[in-house]
A and B are shown apart, each in its own frame.
Chain A
Amino acid sequence: MTDISQSPVVAKKPSVDEARKKRTAKRYAAEKRFEYIGLGAVLSAGLFLVILLWTIVGNALPALTYNYLKVPIDLTSEKLTEENAATFDYRKIVRNGIYEAVPGVKGRKDRKKLRGLVSSGAAIELRSEVSANPQWIGTKQEIYLPLSDTADLYLKNLMGDITRPESERKFSDIEIKWSDQLKQQGKIDTRFNSIFFTHGASREPEMAGIWGAVVGSFMTLLVTLVLSVPVGVGAAIYLEEFAPKNRLTGFIEININNLAAVPSIVFGLLGLGFFLNGVHLGWFTLGGGFPRSAAITGGTVLALMTLPTVIIASRAAIKSVPPSIREAALGIGASKTQATFHHVLPLAMPGILTGTIIGMAGALGETAPLLLIGMVAFIVDIPGGFTDPATVLPVQIFMWADFPEIGFQQKTAAAILILLCFLIAMNAIAVWLRNKFERRW
């Protein structure tokens, strides 16, 4: 009996095991396959990131330094006094200094070329140097003045193939000769490019700086922050804690979610149509009157664009506070407002802050809506107030990328690098704030 009943089991068992093993192996194989696909995705994403950063950093590095020429400057002219040092025309002084640095150049054409070795902004640089050092007036000095962008690029080996025929190059044989000669004489000094970090925009690559755009971005973001955070968080608190749940609030909620997905250029059109032009209703104009190209206008438009993000993030943060906290506060007689502001809001703060900073980072990188309200204008002066014409970092990058001069390629890359640094800094602050507030209890 026992033999009969046991034998089929013994015979059957291996085949069951075999099938199960097969199935298990298949499952494990599928798991491994999926794991490798995921790993591959991460690695390729990382590779692209490395390529991106490599290109940007590689392009940006030359923009961080600049070549200066030691020019003998004669400040003994009787016309130059301490009073007019800040308004004096130094062009002639610079010109004579260059002729002295490279002696023996005759002929109008060659002399013009020689003058072109030094930046056309050199006279302005000299003016600010002399204004800062009035004791120089009446003496002879040797002052480092910025070279022209072509000379700088040649010295940085960024001119491309210089063995091409002269007519195909922007830098002629004689200019190359002079540059090499000056370099050999030790009259050229490579310095940190402080002009790039302190000047506003310019048509001359060597005189163009990022500071105007940085200040413009800062002011614009400040306006955005001041407008969107109180309104956004207030709206989120009202909708989450106070508003009755009915059709109207449901409709509002759907629309806020939809607004978050509206292309940013539409907000630019709104800014143009409403804030700048205004809506004309017969004799009455609604809106309008905002200054064109100004930080306050750009900031307002970006605030409208950022509001849905802030509201959605804040609502999610408020919703994630456990209801037991509200009940605890209400249960000992706190009013709804007290429960919200004493207990719910502090607990929701890390989420609100994170959402706000992410929204701000988005606003910082936004270009399209600002183009429409005129922040793409060519603005040389660094904005001194919220109503001054200004530009912002991404728009500056957009403009520089469009300029034909080779010198702007490096500027563009350097500006992108600066924008990325700001974005990384903001995200780091978001992470830091979140960790700080969450670790507290």
Chain B
Amino acid sequence: MSATKTSTVETTTPKISCSDVHVFYADKEAIKGVDLNIKEKQVTALIGPSGCGKSTFLRCINRMNDTIDICRVTGNIDIDGQDIYAPEVNVVDLRADVGMVFQKPNPFPKSIFENVAYGPRIHGLANGKADMADIVEKSLRRAGLWEEVKDRLDQPGTGLSGGQQQRLCIARAIAVSPSVILMDEPCSALDPIATSIVEELIDELRQNYTIVIVTHSMQQAARVSQDTAFFHLGEIVETGATEDIFTNPKDPRTESYITGRIG
């Protein structure tokens, strides 16, 4: 069956536009021709059952799949009109512009300060120590972690609680001032209270960043996202405004999934 594309009226050009994206792991096709437009300064949720390829697709947007030897990506992914798989694109710069937050909080086993400062340092974003301290404070404030850690910046980031660690990872990602943040099930390892804090944070970050979030939780997608894309078996079944998808799904598979009958 062909992917049904809901045509939400596009007033502006999308931040990220993907067309005919295929991903192969050796001979296995994991993503089978995905077209998706992601709007600027909005939260786009990718939902779907396990193994449907939503994480794989997310990792195409900052070329994290490059690190897997057997993985091959074809098709077009443009960010601000630039094909990110073009040979002249520097993957290091791309990943500074497209930050990523992973499923399991993965702070470096270094101090809280160092965790945030590492990105700006390798990209040469800070002029001197004071500037670096400024960047670290701003990033931690934006991630809503500053008040909790300002007195112990020299302590290991791995000593924080799970929710705090994940917000530290978000601070680390925004410290290199990206325009897009990819989140791969950022709350799946967190308890409900930490989850709600991170969700609030995502909602705030929307003002400054384009966010793409993969989630297993339909409620989370409904709470934090404006647009939703439903993946099934490596294809996009349905995309559209989150409200429409959840209240008025057009494809029977979407309906089955959001009502809990498949997945």
Contact A441 B109, beta carbon cutoff 8 Å: yes
Chain A residues 305 to 359 lying within 8 A of chain B, measured CB to CB, are 322, 324-335, 338, 342-343, 347
Interchain CA distance A330-B118 in the complex, whole Å: 12
Does the CB pair B176–A332 fall under 8 Å?
yes
Cβ of B109: which chain A residues have Cβ within 8 Å of it? 325, 347, 440-441
Q: Closest residue of chain B to A322, judged by CB? A: B106
Please pick, from B67, B156, B158, the residue contacting A330 in the complex, using a CB distance under 8 A: B67
Assembled-state Cα–Cα distance A332/B64 (Å):
11
Q: Closest approach, in angstroms, between the C-beta of A349 and any C-beta of chain B?
A: 12
Question: Does the CB pair A328–B102 fall under 8 Å?
Answer: yes
Give chain A residues whose Cβ lies under 8 Å from the Cβ of B173: 331-332
A335 contact from B69, B92, B102, B106, Cβ within 8 A: B92
The yes or no answer to A245 lying at the interface (CB within 8 A) is yes
Residue B100 is within 8 A (CB to CB) of chain A in the complex: yes
Within 8 Å CB of B62, what residues of A?
331
Contact of A327 among B102, B110, B172 (CB under 8 A): B102
A residues contacting the other copy or chain, number (CB 8 A): 21
- Interface of chain B residues 146 through 176 with chain A (CB within 8 A): 156, 158, 169, 172-173, 175-176
- B contacts with A, residue count (CB < 8 A): 29
Chain B minimum-CB-distance residue to A334: B122
A332 engages B102 (CB within 8 Å): no
Q: Is the CB of B106 within 8 A of A328?
A: yes
**A334 B92 Cβ-Cβ under 8 A:** yes
- The complex places the Cα of A436 from the Cα of B109 at a distance, in Å, of 15
A329 to B169, CA, bound (A): 11
B108 touches A328 (CB 8 A): yes
Q: Are B106 and A325 in contact (CB under 8 A)?
A: yes
Q: Are A333 and B69 in contact (CB under 8 A)?
A: no
Beta-carbon contacts of A235-261 to B below 8 Å, as 1s and 0s?
Answer: 000000000110000000000000000
- Asked if B119 lies at the interface with its beta carbon under 8 angstroms from chain A, I say yes
B204 / chain A contacts, CB cutoff of 8 Å: none
- Check B95 against A330 for contact (C-beta < 8 Å): yes
User: Chain A contacts of B45 at CB under 8 A?
Assistant: none
Give the Cβ gap from B201 to chain A, nearest Cβ, in Å.
18
Residues from chain A with a CB closer than 8 A to the CB of B158 are 441
Residues of A near B118 (CB, < 8 A) are 329, 332, 334, 342
With A347-B109, A441-B156 already in contact, the answer to whether A245 and B95 are too (CB < 8 A) is: no
Hey, which chain A residues are within 8 Å of B110, CB to CB?
A: 441
The docked-state distance in angstroms from the alpha carbon of A245 to that of B173 is 30
Q: What residues on A are CB-neighbors of B94 within 8 Å?
A: 333
In the complex, B104 has a CB within 8 A of chain A: yes
16 A/B residue pairs, CB under 8 Å, sorted by A: A244-B69, A245-B69, A327-B64, A328-B102, A330-B95, A331-B100, A331-B102, A332-B119, A332-B122, A333-B93, A333-B122, A335-B92, A343-B108, A347-B109, A441-B110, A441-B158
Closest 8 pairs between A and B when the two form their complex, measured CB to CB: A333-B96, A324-B106, A331-B100, A333-B95, A332-B119, A441-B109, A328-B106, A441-B156
